[in-house]
Amino acid sequence: MLDRGMGHFVVMSSAAGKVPTPGQALYSASKHALNGYFASLRSELCTKGIKVTVVCPGPIETPVSSGATSSSQRHSSEKRVSVERCAELTIIAATHGLKEAWISYQPVLAVMYVVQYMPTIGCWLMDKVGAKRVDAAAKKGNAYSWNLLFGGKKSA
């Protein structure tokens, strides 16, 4: 890329690299590191004709997601982006030279915006949801539900 004076890194990260993700601390840490590395690399290489697009998808519909072998085994209200749609949006982001692309449904996308643009409120929100999200994931429930914020009892 350096010899040609052009190139484009398209990096698959995660929403977990942008916001706190209770129950996924190690995964989140690795994605934060990935985001930091490529943000720095982007700044170092931008004058040399090399672009970087970091894609941060939220939950993706895969056979491996949540340990389920089919989408029918997953909690029905848990909405995930299809692999095909994620790939399509990744190509669009890279083609348009976006520095970063967030791909998700609600409430994940809303949380990403709050954490990005109102970090104090975002951290408060994640603290409020944290223990409930860990419990929901342990019970193979919906770890991405609005109910974690607005409904249900607080975890002990």
Question: Active site includes 27?
Answer: yes
Please, are residues 92 and 44 in contact by the beta-carbon 8 Å criterion? Answer: no
* Residue 5, pLDDT above cutoff 90: yes
Q: 101: part of which helix (H) or strand (E)?
A: strand 100-103
CATH number of 2-62+78-141: 3.40.50.720
Which pLDDT score, from 0 to 100, does residue 71 have?
A: 43
Q: Which of 114, 46, 103 is nearest to 79 (CA)?
A: 103
Residue whose token pair is 């029918």: 72
Instruction: Output 122 or 13, whichever has higher pLDDT.
Output: 13
pLDDT digits over 66-76, tens only?
454 444 444 45
Contacts 24+ apart (CB under 8 A), 89-93: 89/55, 90/10, 90/12, 90/55, 93/10, 93/53, 93/55
- Identify the residue with better confidence: 152 or 63: 63
Backbone angles phi, psi at 13, to 5 degrees: -110, -130
The structural domains of the chain, with segments of one domain joined by +, span 2-62+78-141
Catalytic residue among 27, 105, 117, 144: 27
User: What is the pTM assigned to this prediction?
Assistant: 0.79
Task: Provide CB contacts within 8 A for 99, sequence distance 6+.
Answer: 42, 52, 53, 54
* pLDDT tens digits along 75-110: 456 789 999 999 999 999 999 999 999 999 988 899
Q: Give pLDDT, residue 121.
A: 93
Q: Report the pLDDT value the prediction gives residue 153, as an integer from 0 to 100.
A: 53
Q: What letter does residue 51 receive in the DSSP assignment? A: E
pLDDT > 50? residue 126: yes
Q: Is the pLDDT of residue 64 over 60?
A: yes
Residue 95 is encoded by which pair of tokens?
């083609």
Mean pLDDT of the chain: 86
Residue 104, helix vs strand vs coil: coil
In this prediction, residue 18 has a pLDDT band, given cuts at 50, 70 and 90, of very high
